[in-house]
Structure 1
Amino acid sequence: MDHPGTFVLIVAAAVLAPLLAYGISRWLPVPLVIFEILLGILIGPDVPGWAHTGQVIDVLSELGLAMLIFLAGYEIQFDQVRGDTLKRSVGAWLIALVLGLVIGTLLAHGGGFDKGVYVGAALTSTALGAILPVLRDAGDLRSRFGSVMMAMGSVGEFGPIIAMALLLSGRAPARSAALLAAFAVLTAAAVFWALRPKPPWFSNVIAKTLHSSAQFAVRLVVLLLVGMLGLAQVLGLDILLGAFAAGLVTRLVLQGAAPESSGTVLSKVEAMGFGFLVPLFFVVTGIEFDLEALLGGGRVLLLLPVFLLLFLLVRGLPMWLLAPRDLGRRDRSALVLFGSTALPLVVAITTLGVEAGRVEPGEAAALVGAGMLSVLLFPLAGLRLRAGGRAGDGPGGEGGARGPARAGRAERVRGSESW
């Protein structure tokens, strides 16, 4: 049974994290998730030993993971990711997957291909939710660079989830592909329903209950999430896939049926997710973080800088090679840095790997630690490259194709920080 003091400590850490992030933002913009994980470490068994996980906290943490991936799916706007840029993004990720599987298996240290899949999938991920606020603040979200980064980042969030569903089911590849196809068909049916015009009463109920105790739209969102999670589980697929698909379907439903209310509904769902479940997941991740193994030296400590470099090699190199030709050298380098930023999916994937007994806690700690460093270092370096490129480019220089980018930067996009 969970000790009630542990739950109080976890919630207190979740409250303290944004205060710390706000306080230090005057000197350094540190993502909130870093403080949530660090505070979890500080109250966990490897430091004072105040907090220990239990059955109830583990269930809430799983819900937080599902909500995290759900909001990631909602965040992706596939209508803005298309054409040649999408093809290049998929190609870059597929190359990264091959590199990640090979390197992950070589680093598996006797764990075999399954461990290699967990490690390799983590190396191909992109923390799009951590990057978007940075691009918003820089005015780059609607620039040419921002649209390419959105495409690369979207595939970097969606791809690892598909890879894990295909490669880690324990079934024959043909059967896994058939079940994944069945899930895709059922998801497509949900999308078809979401895109169909809804009767007037549907949007009226959403609007009338938006600020009442009924909260029809929020309950519908929860039903879609639980339904897609259940469908994935029945088909033997990973819950990450169900949560991600639920986010995609929910976006279509809300924007199609009640576009004037979709922003308010999303804010309510984000309040439930980012206000409680998601920070709980990250604090619990910190509590379960194997700090002793990481600081004990040896192979685990050595893996941390190795994984940090592998993010750049596995995820970044293919992006450099397949980036659209109208991006100059500095923008390509910035794309590599932004695209190699990885943490939320790394935490999610390593959590599942440890629970399955395929990834050792020390290795998971090294991967998560490298992800934390990537979030701290790569976006700032990418911004400096972008700033230097804008300052040095003339009308016909390397950034000659950046006229639309400058126009995009003129329109500041306001939005709340996610992840």
Structure 2
Amino acid sequence: MDLTLQPLALITILALLAHFLSSRMNAPIIVVEIIFGIIIGRNLLNLISDDFVIDFLALLGFIFLMFLSGLEIDFNQIESRGWGNIFKGLISFSLILALSYLGALAMGYGFILALIFSTTSLGVVVPTLRDLGISRSGEGQSILLTAMVADFLTILLLTFYSVSLRKSGELPIFVVSTLFIAYAAAYLIGKKALWHFPEFLSSWFKPDQPTEVGVRAAIAIMLGFVAYSEVVGVEEILGAFLAGVLLSMLFRGGSILEEKL
């Protein structure tokens, strides 16, 4: 297999250029990056062909972004403001999914197309909110949680739908559900550990921590959930998102960890 870094060099140069163009256009940088991706991709210039390095980095980047999306959720705000944004997201998603399903049936398609119509993209929402500097504000958290509910439920429904189509003898739904059992177990263990060793664990995430053990632990937890997602046949991004939510719930207001990551 011939390994070339030319496509990666082109992408990094355009990513740098996107920063300056977005400032001139007064637009979120993710918008400019998407436009660049369309131009150099298969739809127009086709400058980026199938490449192992690009595919791997794209997957790793998306996994990391979903991890940061879970970490971005401020549970202190949710507790102080109530769970209204979560319920709004559930209601919005349910209505959109129902209308999408009717539309898909009218066009002669089924449930998969309805899910595609219903989803949002945290990969677009999160960078936009961070670029605007409102990801931790009340409005930003409302948008984030609504998008999170849509993305989370879409991945979840798609997973269980694909499992239901598998032949007998393949991974059953119970095995897929063990991902959430693992999440609950990790949360309880983390809660116990924080109760018994609060100062020791908090020291991992101090700004002056020389070996960055907190970052190492966060990445290990993220990849652990991602690897287990692969084992049980679930999308890797769901495991990454759950890992981010886990750390956000355990270490409330983990802005220091976010900055380091």
TM range (shorter): 0.7 to 0.9
Is contact 1:66–1:243 with CA below 8 Å preserved after alignment?
yes
Q: TM-score, normalised by structure 1?
A: 0.51
Distance in structure 1 (CA, Å) of the matches to 2:67 and 2:141: 22
Aligned residues: 249
Shift of 1:96: 2.0
CA-CA distance at 1:154 after TM superposition: 3.6
2:24 matches 1:23: yes
Match of 1:158 among 152, 155, 168: 152
CA distance in 2, matches of 1:22, 1:49: 27
How has the CA–CA distance of structure 1 residues 171 and 101 changed in structure 2, closer, same or farther, with 3 Å as cutoff? farther
Instruction: Report deviation, 1:60.
Output: 0.9
Match of 1:171 in 2: 166
Question: Distance in 2 between the 1:58 and 1:134 partners?
Answer: 25
Provide structure 2 residue ranges, at least 5 long, that are not aligned to the other structure.
none
- Structure 2: distance between partners of 1:95 and 1:177: 26
- CA deviation string 1:320-368 (max 9, x = no partner): xxxxxxxxxxxxxxxxxxxxxxxxxxxxxxxxxxxxxxxxxxxxxxxxx
Is 2:256 aligned against 1:264?
yes
User: Which of 164, 177, 185 is the equivalent residue of 1:181?
Assistant: 177
Q: CA deviation at 1:151?
A: 4.6
Share of identical aligned residues, percent?
22
CA distance in 2, matches of 1:201, 1:141: 30
2:226 equivalent among 208, 224, 229: 229
Q: 1:20, CA displacement in angstroms? A: 0.7
The equivalent of 1:239 in structure 2 is 236
Q: What TM-score, normalized to structure 2?
A: 0.78
TM-fit CA distance, 1:56: 1.5
TM-superposed CA distance for 1:253, in Å, is 3.8
| Structure 1 residue aligned with 2:201 | 202
Task: Identify the residue that residue 95 of structure 2 maps to in structure 1.
Answer: 95
Deviations 1:156-213 (A, max 9, x none): 33222222222233438xx764334322121111122233325133333443863x3x
- Which structure has the greater CA radius of gyration? 1
RMSD over aligned Cα, in angstroms? 3.3
Match of 1:34 in 2: 31
Change over 3 Å in CA distance of 1:121–1:131 after alignment to 2: same
The residue type equivalent to 1:16 in the other structure is L
**Structure 1 residue 268: Cα displacement:** 2.0
> Structure 1 residues 209 and 88, CA, compared in 2 at 3 Å: closer, same or farther?
closer
Cα distance change, pair 150–203 in 1 and its aligned pair in 2 (3 A): closer
